[in-house]
A and B are shown apart, each in its own frame.
Chain A
Amino acid sequence: MRVLYRLVLFISVTVLMACQFSKTEPLPYLGPHRQVGDSTVYYRVDSFAFFNQDSQLVTAESLRGKVYVVDFFFISCPTICPVMTKHMKELYNLYKSDPRVVLLSFTLDPRHDTIPRLKRYAHKLGVSAPKWNFLYGKKEDIYATAPKFLISAAQEDDTDPLTIIHSGKFVLVDGEGHLRSYCDGTSKEEVYRLAEDIDRLLDEMTNEGHE
């Protein structure tokens, strides 16, 4: 019994210390980096420009200084998208009053998900831009943008949205366009873990601002 007690104590102290440790450690920079002289150049999402449901242009530039979460979806998606949208809505509610956090959902089916349809969808879901942007653009541009966020997406038959296959990842991007964290958007636990990473990025921004 005494051994068990000690074991439990040891484990709890270790876990507590691990938590403390992970809180102070900065989030990693994802994607390839280059060494230029003494400094490391981290991968960043440099350029994209799409229209949101209000026909406003959203670009990589316009999101500088914002922390944003990205996913790729389409309205008639019969599998993973509904639960991803449900989890994105939880992030929407969590960060409703913090203008530093923005959500982007790119449609993989612009043929059917037109701007008015995305607008209706957002309205029914009870969400709006500029917090949550449903992004529309030329199909080839959207499919070329997904890999920039290290998200895979493809469509076998152009006319049939049911042949779209895509990753259910949520990717977290910092104020400079660096990819800093990601999670499986279909898992509630993972999405809440991502929310902790959002908080860490926001702390990072606040600290940098004070220096």
Chain B
Amino acid sequence: MKGMNNQLGPIVLSISLILAFFTGCGERYPQGKALYEAQCAWCHMSDGTGLEGIYPSLVDREDLRQQLWRIPCAIRYGVYDSLRVGDDTFSLVMMGFPELTDAEVSNISNYIALSFLKLQEGPYNERAVVEMLKRCRSREDTFRLLKSKLQSQ
């Protein structure tokens, strides 16, 4: 019995280390995770897989890895054009979340980048996000136009 206890010690230790490692990873952006769960997960799902044909998955999206600015742009201003991902076309509008601050947009984007795009480091910070949001400014005109079109319908 005593020998068994001695064997159990290292096992328990390593299990708790592994657990600490994984939970620690998931909590690198606790605010991003909380906001993702509260705002994004309704459609993109908690595991990022979306809904086939209706809401695009965020998991392993090479196009987003290549164009990281699209994530903060989509969060702030929404997506009003139809979107092609692989062979699928997504035509439902995504509303933007203009009430979220730059820091919050950065945290959500980092959470998405780490959890779903499998990046090792969060590529966003507040300053980078401000710069990226400038890149989608040019699209704001399209956005305003489409929005007024939607409202007049």
A3 within 8 A of B: no
Q: Which of B47-55, B67-75, B104-112 contacts A (4 or more CB under 8 A)?
A: B47-55
- Alpha-carbon gap, A79 to B40, bound state (A): 10
Which single residue of chain B is at the shortest CB-CB distance from A85?
A: B51
**How would residues 57 to 101 of chain A score, 1 for a CB under 8 Å from any chain B CB and 0 otherwise?**
000000000000000000110111011011001000000000000
A28 within 8 A of B: no
Q: Give the A-B pair count, Cβ closer than 8 A.
A: 32
B1 within 8 A of A: yes
In the bound complex, do residue B54 and residue A124 qualify as a contact, i.e. CB atoms below 8 Å apart? yes
Q: How far is the CB of A36 from chain B (nearest CB, A)?
A: 46
Chain B residues 32 to 82 lying within 8 A of chain A, measured CB to CB, are 42-43, 45, 51-55
**Most B CB within 10 A of own CB, among A75, A86, A126:** A86
In the bound complex, do residue B51 and residue A86 qualify as a contact, i.e. CB atoms below 8 Å apart? yes
Q: Count B interface residues, CB 8 Å.
A: 11
In the bound complex, do residue B54 and residue A85 qualify as a contact, i.e. CB atoms below 8 Å apart? yes
Which single residue of chain B is at the shortest CB-CB distance from A86?
A: B51
In the bound complex, do residue B1 and residue A83 qualify as a contact, i.e. CB atoms below 8 Å apart? no
A interface, size bucket: 10 to 19
In the bound complex, do residue B51 and residue A125 qualify as a contact, i.e. CB atoms below 8 Å apart? yes
In the bound complex, do residue A82 and residue B1 qualify as a contact, i.e. CB atoms below 8 Å apart? no
- Alpha-carbon gap, A121 to B52, bound state (A): 11
Tell me which residues across on chain A come within 8 A of B95, comparing CB atoms. Answer: 78
A19 within 8 A of B: no
Tell me which residues across on chain A come within 8 A of B42, comparing CB atoms. Answer: 78-80, 82-83
In the bound complex, do residue A125 and residue B53 qualify as a contact, i.e. CB atoms below 8 Å apart? yes
Q: How far is the CB of A115 from chain B (nearest CB, A)?
A: 17
In the bound complex, do residue B52 and residue A83 qualify as a contact, i.e. CB atoms below 8 Å apart? no
Contact of A83 among B45, B53, B92 (CB under 8 A): B45
In the bound complex, do residue A126 and residue B52 qualify as a contact, i.e. CB atoms below 8 Å apart? yes
Tell me which residues across on chain A come within 8 A of B45, comparing CB atoms. Answer: 82-83, 86
Q: How far is the CB of A73 from chain B (nearest CB, A)?
A: 12
Q: How far is the CB of B62 from chain A (nearest CB, A)?
A: 22
- Alpha-carbon gap, A1 to B5, bound state (A): 12
- Alpha-carbon gap, A126 to B87, bound state (A): 13
Q: How far is the CB of A83 from chain B (nearest CB, A)?
A: 7
Contact of B52 among A1, A78, A89 (CB under 8 A): A89
In the bound complex, do residue B1 and residue A1 qualify as a contact, i.e. CB atoms below 8 Å apart? yes
**How would residues 143 to 167 of chain A score, 1 for a CB under 8 Å from any chain B CB and 0 otherwise?**
0000000000000000000000000
- Alpha-carbon gap, A126 to B51, bound state (A): 11
Which single residue of chain A is at the shortest CB-CB distance from B53?
A: A124
In the bound complex, do residue B53 and residue A82 qualify as a contact, i.e. CB atoms below 8 Å apart? no
| 20 further A-B pairs in the complex, CB-CB below 8 A; given A82-B54, A125-B53 | A1-B1, A76-B92, A78-B42, A78-B43, A78-B95, A79-B42, A82-B43, A82-B45, A82-B51, A83-B42, A83-B45, A85-B54, A86-B45, A86-B51, A89-B52, A123-B53, A124-B53, A124-B54, A125-B51, A125-B52
Identify 27 residue pairs between A and B in the complex whose beta-carbon atoms are under 8 Å apart, listed by A's number.
Answer: A1-B1, A78-B42, A78-B43, A78-B95, A79-B42, A80-B42, A82-B42, A82-B51, A82-B54, A82-B55, A83-B42, A83-B45, A85-B54, A86-B45, A86-B51, A89-B51, A89-B52, A121-B54, A123-B53, A124-B53, A124-B54, A125-B51, A125-B52, A125-B53, A125-B54, A126-B52, A126-B53
In the A-B complex, list the 8 residue pairs whose CB atoms are closest, starting with the nearest. Answer: A124-B53, A82-B43, A125-B53, A82-B51, A86-B51, A79-B42, A126-B53, A124-B54
